[in-house]
């Protein structure tokens, strides 16, 4: 099994409920979407083929063998869009079998039923969101993320969540696009509306230059 890989690196998880934890990222090449706020356009085409064995070897070399506990390093597949490659679910299962905690960052435009159940899914609401994916997000484990560019985006995301009643069962993240939506405005709206979502900033963009790769 071979995958096209853009980069593999260790850093601090910058987003979601696991923000701040040491994390190894496997960034796959390729994505069929073209979100206006995309900050990883370099992953659309750049990459090199790696066998599953080579990837697992690199994971162990960079982050060591799996450990346990709430702060243990974990492995995240990101992109690009990992599910655009048929080998990604197989790779995630192999990482689970080795004993790693595994997360997947996906745009939610591919069928999440193909993802091993134990993988933590962080699904971004995208232009091509598959509504059936809501049935495959596990309460207390998975996350649904809204990347917000404008005040209109906030109103839309809020209505979308309330209409479906998902705030009672899922961790929902509201994240302002860097340089486009004022984080303070968003935080104050969430407080004023008493909206039980998680406000988040991309920590890695506060720590390193926003355009820096491999962090
Ligand atoms: S889904 Fe992700 S990688 Fe693909 S275009 Fe959108 S932001 Fe970029």
Q: How confident is the model at residue 215 (pLDDT cuts 50, 70, 90)?
A: confident
What distance in angstroms lies between residue 67's CA and the mean position of ligand 1's atoms? 31
Percent of the chain at pLDDT exceeding 90:
85
- The bridge status of strand 74-78 relative to strand 120-124 is unpaired
**What pLDDT sits at residue 209?**
86
Q: How confident is the model at residue 210 (pLDDT cuts 50, 70, 90)?
A: confident
Residue 125: what are its φ and ψ, rounded to 5°?
A: -65, 120
**Angle, nearest 10°, between helix axes 52-63 and 88-98?**
40
**What pLDDT sits at residue 213?**
87
Q: For 75-134, what is each residue's pLDDT tens digit?
A: 999 999 999 999 999 999 999 999 999 999 999 899 999 999 999 999 999 878 999 999
Q: How confident is the model at residue 211 (pLDDT cuts 50, 70, 90)?
A: confident
Which fold would CATH assign to domain 2-207? TIM Barrel (3.20.20)
The predicted model gives 187-214 an average pLDDT of 92
C-beta 36 within 6 A of ligand 1: no
C-beta 81 within 6 A of ligand 1: yes
Q: Which atom of ligand 1 is nearest to the CA of 44?
A: 3
**What pLDDT sits at residue 72?**
86
Q: Which atom of ligand 1 is nearest to the CA of 43?
A: 3
Enumerate the domain spans of the chain. 2-207
**Angle, nearest 10°, between helix axes 183-192 and 151-164?**
40
Q: Is the pLDDT of residue 198 over 90?
A: yes
What distance in angstroms lies between residue 164's CA and the mean position of ligand 1's atoms? 24
C-alpha span between 50 and 55 (Å, rounded): 6
Q: Which atom of ligand 1 is nearest to the CA of 147?
A: 7
**What pLDDT sits at residue 149?**
95
What distance in angstroms lies between residue 108's CA and the mean position of ligand 1's atoms? 10
Q: At which residue do the structure tokens 């974990």 appear?
A: 74
> CA 92: distance to chain centroid?
14
Q: Is the pLDDT of residue 12 over 90?
A: yes
């Amino acid at each position: 099994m071979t995958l096209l890989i853009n980069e593999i690196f260790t850093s601090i998880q910058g987003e979601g409920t696991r923000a701040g934890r040491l994390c190894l990222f496997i960034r796959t090449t390729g994505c069929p979407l073209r979100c206006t706020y995309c900050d990883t356009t370099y992953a659309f085409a750049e990459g090199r083929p790696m066998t599953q064995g080579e990837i697992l070897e690199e994971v162990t070399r960079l982050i060591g063998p799996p450990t346990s506990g709430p702060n243990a390093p974990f492995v995240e597949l990101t992109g690009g869009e990992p599910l655009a490659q048929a080998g990604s679910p197989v790779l995630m299962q192999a990482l689970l079998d080795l004993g790693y905690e595994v997360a997947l960052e996906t745009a939610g435009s591919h069928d999440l039923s193909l993802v091993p159940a134990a993988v933590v899914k962080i699904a971004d609401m995208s232009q091509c969101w598959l509504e059936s994916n809501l049935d495959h997000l596990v309460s207390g484990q998975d996350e649904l993320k809204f990347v917000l560019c404008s005040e209109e985006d906030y109103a839309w995301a809020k209505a979308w969540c309330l209409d479906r009643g998902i705030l009672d069962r899922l961790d929902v993240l509201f994240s302002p696009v860097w340089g486009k939506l004022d984080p303070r405005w968003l935080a104050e709206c969430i407080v004023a509306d008493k909206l039980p979502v998680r406000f988040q900033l991309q920590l890695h963009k506060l720590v390193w230059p926003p355009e820096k790769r491999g962090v």
